[in-house]
Amino acid sequence: MSASHSAALPTRPLASAVPTLDADEAGTVIWHRDHLRVRDQPAVAAAATDEHVLPLFVFDPAFYGSEGLACDARVGFLHDCLADLDAQYRRRTGRGLTYAHGDPIDVLGRFREAGWDVVAAAGPSGRYGHERDRRARDEHDVAFVSGDGLVRHTDRPRRDWQARVEAWFEAEPHEWDPATVTNRAFETEVTIDSVADAYDVVPQKSQVPTGGTERARARLEAFAERTREYPGNISSPVDARDGTSGLSPYLKFGCLSVREVYQYVDEHAPDGRGAEMFVSRLFWNKHYEQKLEDWPGWLDAAANPVLTGFNADRHDPELIDAWKRGRTGYPMVDASMRCLAATGWLNFRMRALCVSFYYHVLQQPWQIGADWYHHHLLDSVASINYTQWQSQCGLVGRPTLRRYNPRKQVRDQDPDGEFITRWVPELEPLPTEYLDRPEHTPLAVQEDCGVVIGETYPRPIVDYESARAEFRERFGAVRAAAADALADPDVADRASLSGGRSSARAIARKHGTAAGASRDDATQTHLDAFGESEFRPE
């Protein structure tokens, strides 16, 4: 961001406005960071017990510019969501959002000085958000309102999680009466358009949906009618693009609550395997939120301490760069990574494949890859992204390692090469039968089709068989110690999937599967919960 752009935005747009309020007109600020909706929103319902409310969104410079925390598509999607949220408030209260720009802690401080209370919806967040919210609580007594089904502030918080979250899914949503409140919103110099102009927000990613609650509800209603097709559309990146719900970015920004989605599907979708699989992912969504609520260390530290720093001594920036750019010589990995960078989307199996390839084959430090996903994925939330990276890498230290063969995934998930040639067009002339291992294409065929491996498309940057064997040997050397570490109750709690499995089984029974989810089904549901672009768990 240039200096002129920085100057174009008033960083203290409320400095003169807030102090002009009479003391008896002060009320409650609803600080929206996510949860960008007015229905089933605990902070909105809590604030509406006051006479005066002021819905506020602060455009935080930390999320913008070349070093910003969010990719261009996520910023654009956020702006869509804010315009929709503003319209929601205007329909209900006659006024919309108040926008500010700058350090949120400074802005909230000015409201507190003017006598306003501040509330926000509680929820686990990433590194920056965790520290920002801590400062808001400590410096300005901001109240973070629970109401998301998570268990907080107990010695062993996950002990009661299963019963609580199941009851939360079935409970009535948070409600409030707009007729009982006055929205004290201010018109400021800050608008969505002025922020977009100042920071040159022109998203370059393609196939990005429009944000907002209205669009989310339309997607939910359309998807509920076709849940029977859902199980067959998850694994292939070709089928998953349009065959899944597409709700995950809307849930990431809170355009709908997870409970709203559950209750709508429960009421409108036909019973069967599709509804069961879909709803179980909603439970996994809350499971991983609870995990991050219990232990913020998921963002930076190995869940199993024995595995701390595993692969760190093999850090190779060139290998990582090839993985990020989709230039590894493994077509399914390359197509997936290019798709991620170009669209901010990737279905669950391809996310898991690329994690496995990065950690088990390239043998690189997990945090760098996890941060890359978190920046580029439109639907990424820390509670899903980082816990799933650790689980897929094997950093919980449980016996089973989930490793994906990048060649087999070509044959199983893209046998006609539709996905690969869409994102790796230089391979389009190559006969389909060679897409799983282009380097084995006979030289005569390469010459005939004009695809020269090593020139047109890179050779594999590592040998798959030897790298896989090497990782197995290295990991095997610490496996016993990692298993022993699970005797520590804290480590065992972090590694546990029991609460998520039990809840998934309970909901499976409710939705009419013959015998509920088997252990294998539950395990696969957990694995699939990485990102079908479905709910952040997927």
Structure tokens, 409:
């995934």
Query: Mean pLDDT, to the nearest integer, of 275-280?
Result: 95
- Number of domains composing the chain: 2
Query: Mean pLDDT, to the nearest integer, of 478-504?
Result: 81
In 154-275, at which residue ranges do the beta strands (DSSP E only) sit? 182-183
| pLDDT reading at 231 higher than 70 | yes
Residue 152: its pLDDT value, please? 85
Residue 535: its pLDDT value, please? 34
Other CB atoms within 10 A of residue 131 CB: 11
| pLDDT reading at 517 higher than 50 | no
Q: Give the C-alpha separation, 307 to 299, whole Å.
A: 15
Q: Give the C-alpha separation, 129 to 271, whole Å.
A: 38
Q: Return the residue matching tokens 């043998």.
A: 363
Asked, for residue 467, whether it belongs to a domain, the answer is: yes
Structure tokens, 151:
């268990």
Identify the CA nearest to 407 among candidates 346, 338, 471, 334.
334
Residue 12: its pLDDT value, please? 60
- Collapsed DSSP state (helix, strand, coil) of residue 58: strand
Asked, for residue 214, whether it belongs to a domain, the answer is: no
Residue 67: its pLDDT value, please? 80
Residue positions counted in the chain: 538
Asked, for residue 285, whether it belongs to a domain, the answer is: no
Identify the CA nearest to 160 among candidates 258, 290, 282, 296.
290
- Burial label for 154, CB within 10 Å (0-12, 13-18, 19+), is exposed
Query: Mean pLDDT, to the nearest integer, of 338-363?
Result: 97
Q: Which of 129, 147, 165 is the last residue of a domain?
A: 147
Q: How confident is the model at residue 496 (pLDDT cuts 50, 70, 90)?
A: confident
Poorest-pLDDT segment among 80-94, 315-329, 506-520: 506-520
Q: Return the residue matching tokens 């005066």.
A: 52
| pLDDT reading at 1 higher than 60 | no
Q: How confident is the model at residue 354 (pLDDT cuts 50, 70, 90)?
A: very high
Query: Mean pLDDT, to the nearest integer, of 53-60?
Result: 96
Q: Return the residue matching tokens 């390359």.
A: 334
CA 6 to chain centre: 29
Residue 90: its pLDDT value, please? 98
The per-residue pLDDT for range 145-161, each reduced to its tens digit, is: 999 999 887 545 556 78
Q: Give the C-alpha separation, 110 to 21, whole Å.
A: 12
- Collapsed DSSP state (helix, strand, coil) of residue 493: helix
Q: Give the C-alpha separation, 342 to 336, whole Å.
A: 10
Q: What is the CATH number of the domain that holds 451?
A: 1.10.579.10
Query: Mean pLDDT, to the nearest integer, of 465-479?
Result: 96
Residue 410: its pLDDT value, please? 97
Q: Which has the higher per-residue pLDDT, 536 or 312?
A: 312
| pLDDT reading at 533 higher than 50 | no
- Give me the domain span that covers residue 471: 308-497
**pLDDT above 90 covers what percent of the chain?**
79
Q: Which has the higher per-residue pLDDT, 19 or 2?
A: 19
- Residue 23 dihedral angles phi and psi, to the nearest 5°: -60, -35
| pLDDT reading at 537 higher than 50 | no
Q: Would you tell me the crossing angle of helices 161-170 and 498-510 to the nearest 10 degrees? A: 30
Q: How confident is the model at residue 502 (pLDDT cuts 50, 70, 90)?
A: low
| pLDDT reading at 511 higher than 80 | no
Q: Give the C-alpha separation, 473 to 123, whole Å.
A: 40
| pLDDT reading at 526 higher than 90 | no
Identify the CA nearest to 44 among candidates 107, 104, 100, 121.
121
Poorest-pLDDT segment among 34-48, 153-167, 320-334: 153-167
Q: Which of 131, 147, 163 is the last residue of a domain?
A: 147
CA 411 to chain centre: 28
The per-residue pLDDT for range 394-431, each reduced to its tens digit, is: 999 876 778 899 999 999 999 999 999 999 999 999 99
Other CB atoms within 10 A of residue 265 CB: 21
Residue 402: its pLDDT value, please? 83
Q: Which of 116, 147, 178 is the last residue of a domain?
A: 147
User: In degrees, to the nearest 5, what angle opens at C-alpha 16 toward C-alphas 13 and 20?
Assistant: 130
**pLDDT above 70 covers what percent of the chain?**
86
| pLDDT reading at 514 higher than 80 | no
309 near 267, Cβ under 8 Å?
no
The per-residue pLDDT for range 358-391, each reduced to its tens digit, is: 999 999 999 999 999 999 999 999 999 999 999 9
Q: Give the C-alpha separation, 391 to 265, whole Å.
A: 28
Query: Mean pLDDT, to the nearest integer, of 258-264?
Result: 97
Q: What is the CATH number of the domain that holds 19?
A: 3.40.50.620
Structure tokens, 72:
């261009």
Asked, for residue 445, whether it belongs to a domain, the answer is: yes
**Whole-prediction pTM:** 0.91
Asked, for residue 196, whether it belongs to a domain, the answer is: no
| pLDDT reading at 292 higher than 70 | yes
- Collapsed DSSP state (helix, strand, coil) of residue 138: helix
Residue 21: its pLDDT value, please? 56
Asked, for residue 217, whether it belongs to a domain, the answer is: no
Q: Return the residue matching tokens 């005939």.
A: 448
What is the chain's alpha carbon radius of gyration, rounded to the nearest angstrom? 24
Poorest-pLDDT segment among 300-304, 381-385, 397-401, 458-462: 397-401
Whole-Å CA distances, 292 to 88, 300, 503:
30, 11, 18
Asked, for residue 139, whether it belongs to a domain, the answer is: yes
| pLDDT reading at 244 higher than 80 | yes
99 near 125, Cβ under 8 Å?
no
- Burial label for 225, CB within 10 Å (0-12, 13-18, 19+), is exposed
Amino acid at 413: Q
Asked, for residue 44, whether it belongs to a domain, the answer is: yes
In the 8-state DSSP scheme, what is residue 516? Answer: B
